[in-house]
Structure 1
């Protein structure tokens, strides 16, 4: 049985200033909303965040940006966040932008214990500056190093008491690989069931990767709502 937390603040209360966090989600889909709010409440600072993007100005990781709690952001997309742009241009925020597939593979490699790998993505661009390159079968590749984190904060649909997780549709984006790459993984879920209630064939993340669970409701906001004129 994994440790259960009563609130987002309770779940993240041990995270210290200067920690490196991986945070699941794609846009606003599959983000651990309550744990992010817990980080805001805790006022922990100088964080390095590894995530596909940094939320929007008023929700998700954007709330941490607004509070100046993030020192460095490692991700692949920043287009929906004006405060992100402002902090980068003013020199308040350090940013490492990575091609999305490379970001996913660097996280996956961290979880798999693979220290580095070669990829063709970014060859001949600023992405490859200062990095080792090699030729394989007549094609140039750049060396990329695995990513790791002190804590991984993820979102799943369902968990059992043993921490086995099932994700819902698109929320199964960066969450499974992030779950494996943190020293401590905390999962925010919609409901927790007894051990044995989940179909083992449907489990996406084995409980061995998970140290704590938070059962919590989510607002599930839409990043950019577009509707058809009637």
Structure 2
């Protein structure tokens, strides 16, 4: 197992954003985390990364409880939030050096070079982030998320706002990263789920509606594509 959530609950004032949700994912899978706006996706992701405290229930990353050992779990997580917060006045190389220093990497120069090649930033590495297209900004965000070589990547809508060519490029990069990492991503693009995800979790109104392997989809939902399954489980 890679991510284990048990009876996780989160309340904002009188509203339950998460209502006692539980799921366990496999390792080295791309897991699609789906749901309408306001379903609880970002709240779950922020809790898994330690940004939001666990109110009730538990979350484990590779068997380590994030409340009991937050620093250890954060070392094994890379996170790309939905609104990719970048310092746009910094150069690509500069922001990667900054991130490497935060993680206290001893081999920062070598690792930065590796990450630049892996994320396809070689020709952009000496540019200011403000000069980059949105697709390349997403690549910088992914580079920052993986610079410390985490075992688990949590990506909140990584292809939102990209053009079709950029979407394909980022999907391909995510698939490459998933060879030896677990990738937990949220998306509203059902084609994306069908193209790259091995597991699917659907959440609606703070509750898990289903969790299944992509290979079991046709047996569980015969004749339905992902969009039809999503609508079936989230219309209320």
After TM superposition, the score normalised by the length of structure 1 is: 0.32
Q: RCO greater where, 1 or 2, for CA within 8 Å and sep 6 or more?
A: 2
After TM superposition, the score normalised by the length of structure 2 is: 0.31
